[in-house]
Structure formats: C-alpha cells, structure tokens
Amino acid sequence: MSLPARVVTLVVAFLAVVVVGAFIVVHYFLGGPPTVDYAAGVTPNSGAAVNVVLQEDPQNTVSTHPDWVSYFVQDPKTHQWIHTTLFKVPAGSRINMTILGYDGCTPLRNQYFGKVTGTIGGIVNVDGKPTSQINSWSGCNVGHTFSIPAIDLNVPMATPSNPNANLCGTSPCTSGPHRTETFSFMTPKAAGTYFWQCRVPCGGGFVDGFGGPMQTIGFMTGNMVVVN
C-alpha cells in the first residue's frame, strides 16, 4: 500500500473512532428525556404555588416501547404532553400536583403504600373527594403510585371507576376513562435532585413486574429537580 493510501486509511479510521465515540457520549450519556421547567419565573423559598400536571398511561405509543406503562409531564407553557419524567421545580414552594390516571389496576406489593403520606393535610383528592388511603387488595382500586422517598411523599393513584371500560390506547391520553387526583406538598428548601418512582409492580413481562418501565427514566420513574 502506498504512503498516501496508508495515511488516508489511518485518518479515516481515526475519524471513525472519533465519530463512534462522540455518538456514544451524546446518545448514552448526554441524551435522554428532556426536563420540563416549572421553576422559571418563580422565586425560590417564597412559598409560591406551582402547578405541576402529570398523567399515567397504560402504554407509551410515542416511544420505542409502546407496551410499557408510562408517565407524561405537561409543559406549563405550551400545555403539550412531554414524554419525560424529569421536571424542575423551585425550592421552598408549594407544589399543587394534578395527576390524570388513565391506567387500570394492579395490586400494590406492599399495602403500606396505599396510605397517603407527605402531602399537605395527608390527603389526595380523587375526583375531588379527599382520601387518605386506598386499599389495593380489596378491589380494582390502585393503578400506580407517585412516590418521592426522600421527602416521604407517597400517593396511590386510583384507577378509573369502571375497571372493565376500554382504557385509552394512544399516548399521551386525551380521552378515555380516568381519575383526576390532586394533592399539594412543599418542596425542600435545599436544591437537589429527588428521584420519584411508582411502587406498583407494573413492568409487565419483566421479573416480578419490577423491570423495564419501572427502572427506566421517562416511563415510571424520574427526577424532581429542586433549584434555588
């Protein structure tokens, strides 16, 4: 092989390695779901109220895993549903959370998490009705939970009143049987990242239902980023 040919080959090989490396860094380390910003324009530690809206669906048809259950976060400016479980909120603020529950029921593995904890007043309003506890073993009552362990927040998500009704089949859901749950809690005064999760083993097709969407950010777990 001539000298120019060897040089060209080396340069091409070098560039190929650089491109592959850059792709890995961007795709696997810098990529991922976006973070929805609820902190913009709100003064931290002022006790200001911030309205956060989520929904949980029986599927995620806008992802590469259409059969995975999933949460979505609503953009506060455009009101578009974003395929993510990352959202940013101001420190020391009152979060007024609304979660639309479109998914059906799955019993909790640990009934203790049927109890509402960490919310203001210790309650969640299920379709406007104050509730402090839901028994997931007495019927088709609980679909998921929204839990932030670090602040002891746990809220069971009630299922649509008619468990035999056809559930919403396209994500993000805009129609179909669902529950509307509202509750409030205070964010910590210190900035930090607080992971949240669902406690219902809803990872269908995975060992004990706790794989797949349960272990993947953008589906049934994510981060609440508290900023100052």
Contact residue for other proteins among 199, 218, 225, 226 (CB under 8 A): 199
Instruction: Let me know: does 57 contact 102? Beta carbons within 8 Å.
Output: yes
3-state secondary structure of 184: strand
Tell me the C-alpha distance between 52 and 98, whole Å. 6
Task: At 129, list the tokens.
Answer: 């009705």
The amino acid that residue 8 corresponds to is V
- List binders of other proteins among 97-116 (CB under 8 A): 103-107, 109-112, 114-115
Q: Is residue 195 within the footprint of other proteins (CB under 8 A)?
A: yes
Residues numbered 39-58 forming contacts with other proteins, rule: CB under 8 A: 58
| CA dist., res. 48 & res. 110, Å (int) | 34
In whole angstroms, the minimum distance from the beta carbon of 178 to other proteins comes to 16
- Are 200 and 142 spatial neighbours (Cβ–Cβ below 8 Å)? yes
Binding residue for other proteins (CB under 8 A) from 84, 197, 218, 224?
197
CB 97 within 8 A of CB 148: no
Count of residues near other proteins by CB under 8 A: 47
Which member of 8, 22, 137, 228 binds other proteins (CB under 8 A)?
A: 137
Instruction: Provide CB contacts within 8 A for 227, sequence distance 6+.
Output: 39, 44, 88, 89, 90, 91, 191
Q: How far apart are CA 3 and CA 19, in angstroms?
A: 24
**Residue of the chain from 133, 161, 170, 228 that contacts other proteins (CB under 8 A):** 133
CA 14 – CA 17 distance, rounded (Å):
5
By CB under 8 A, is residue 179 in contact with other proteins?
no
Q: Which stretch binds other proteins (CB under 8 A): 6-14, 27-35, 49-57, 139-147?
A: 139-147
Q: What binding mask, one character per residue, do residues 55-94 give for other proteins by CB under 8 A, x or -?
A: ---x--------x-x-------------------------
Instruction: Name the site residues for other proteins (rule: CB under 8 A).
Output: 58, 67, 69, 103-107, 109-112, 114-115, 117, 132-133, 135-141, 149-150, 152, 163-164, 195, 197, 199, 201-210, 214-217, 221
